[in-house]
Amino acid sequence: MKISTIATVVATVVATVVATAATMRAAITPGSLVTISQAADSSNAAAWWSPLDEAGGYSWLAYLVNPSGGSVSNNNVMIARRDTSSGGILRGCVKSASGACDVFADNIGHNQPSIAIDGDGYVHVFTSMHHATWNYYRSQDPYSVAEIIDASSELPDQSLLYTYPIVKRDAAGDLWLIIRGYNDDLQFSSDGDVHIQWEWAKYPASAGRHESSYLRYRPSTGVFKTIDGVAVSVPVTQSTANLVFQPLATGEIYGDDSGLPPMMQSAKLALYENSAGTVLVQHAFRFQAEVGGTWQIRRSVSHRGNSVWTQETVFSADNTTAALGFTHDGTTARIHFCKKQGSAWVLERSASSTGWSSTELAAVKGQQVQRLQAILRSDGDDVLYLTAATNVNSTTGSVYFLTVGGRE
């Protein structure tokens, strides 16, 4: 297992598969809803996290539960391993060296877990860091949930304080971690490059974020490039040319802690490699244009893979929650999202469609799902982690798993 560090952000570990198939998908074909837990902690909700991975013939879902017999203001971190063929589920908690399930304080939107499985099958979990030193756990055995033990002391930069770990696996099986500030997403192209997406705020803790940005990193050379292929030295700033994919709107300012619109949030990154081998980079994100306005969904695309960004508003009809999933398969882009009144939907656009279609994921209708994550399988199916914070009672919610197929 290799741990890499990227510049001003500390970077480590894992990967999702970026499909490059030339086929199209159009029909939205959800599978059956799988209930992973109806004992989730009501604080099991975040926009930035990566609580879902697939590896070794299993889906891996990380979630919080109220500690058995403990305070509802605390949580244990559970890992559910679901066999992709049989559907059988095994569970384990992250543990201290003494073997007890570790207990953490609830802190919604900040202390949630991210998970990734490395190329050798080891399970890596980062959790409960809101301006805190490392809370990092690793399984003792490949593909095992039995002994996922505190390994925080093995990481570099022990004295720094961290927030928002996002961890993913590249095609070589190494894990990459982006952490701290407003990091959003990581993806990998088939040439081994790491694509990094983040947003900026006035203070480390401001809810209003702006000028979402993108860089491409080549591990073999250590060089960072902007979308137009220009090498830049880090740290970069908002004034680095062609870094920002969502420029400041009219009247948009860096405000105080609470944040005032115009502002953006919850960005996700999707890549598409065309037949010429060009990597087309796309961002989906939420944007609130005015006070009291809906949180819209927007997309910013580099159409020719080496040009400046083009923005479009994809959805503004209803209010959305701080949760987006973004995948791209063949010529089809999909944005999974939740409406504020509680339901999960998918926006889809393919080369053969004239605009975006919006389809409710009927399987979760009525479950009050408010957060989700989506990853793309190599067969073109999207795999969704869905969570409802309080649909059992005031302290307890649920975690669901759903595949959404439909490649043509």
Ligand X SMILES: *[C@@H]1O[C@H](CO)[C@@H](O)[C@H](O)[C@H]1NC(C)=O
Residue of 266, 265, 270, 267 whose CA lies nearest to 375? 270
Nearest distance in Å: CB 285, ligand X:
14
What are the C-alpha distances in Å from 212 to residues 180, 261, 288, 308? 15, 15, 14, 14
Nearest distance in Å: CB 367, ligand X:
16
Residue of 287, 367, 276, 363 whose CA lies nearest to 319? 287
Q: Can you tell me whether residue 152 is helix, strand or coil?
A: helix
Distance CA 218, CA 222 (A): 6
For residues 70 and 366, which CB has a smaller minimum distance to ligand X in the complex? Answer: 70
Query: Where does 239-291 show beta strands of DSSP type E?
Result: 263-273, 279-288
Contact residues for ligand X (CB under 6 A)? 39, 292-295, 319, 392-396
Residue of 287, 198, 190, 283 whose CA lies nearest to 236? 198
On the 0-12 / 13-18 / 19+ scale of CB atoms within 10 A, 62 is buried
The structure tokens listed for 197 are: 């997406």
Nearest distance in Å: CB 108, ligand X:
14
Dihedral of the alpha carbons of 118, 282, 368, 129, in degrees to the nearest 10: 50
Nearest distance in Å: CB 212, ligand X:
18
The per-residue DSSP string of 44-90 comes to ---SS---EEEETTEEEEEEEEPPTTS-TTEEEEEEEEEETTT--EE
For residues 152 and 395, which CB has a smaller minimum distance to ligand X in the complex? Answer: 395
Distance CA 98, CA 223 (A): 42
Asked whether the beta carbons of 96 and 151 are under 8 A apart, the reply is no
For residues 257 and 408, which CB has a smaller minimum distance to ligand X in the complex? Answer: 257
Beta strand 148-150 with 89-95 is parallel
For residues 156 and 293, which CB has a smaller minimum distance to ligand X in the complex? Answer: 293
The distance of Cα 47 from the centroid of its chain, to the nearest Å, equals 7
Dihedral of the alpha carbons of 84, 86, 87, 93, in degrees to the nearest 10: -80
For residues 19 and 314, which CB has a smaller minimum distance to ligand X in the complex? Answer: 314
Question: H-helix or E-strand containing 177?
Answer: strand 175-178
For residues 292 and 355, which CB has a smaller minimum distance to ligand X in the complex? Answer: 292
Nearest distance in Å: CB 318, ligand X:
8
Nearest distance in Å: CB 339, ligand X:
10
What are the C-alpha distances in Å from 116 to residues 5, 13, 167, 335, 385? 17, 8, 6, 22, 14
For residues 165 and 208, which CB has a smaller minimum distance to ligand X in the complex? Answer: 208
For residues 42 and 212, which CB has a smaller minimum distance to ligand X in the complex? Answer: 42
For residues 55 and 93, which CB has a smaller minimum distance to ligand X in the complex? Answer: 93
Nearest distance in Å: CB 210, ligand X:
17
The structure tokens listed for 381 are: 């199916």
For residues 32 and 394, which CB has a smaller minimum distance to ligand X in the complex? Answer: 394
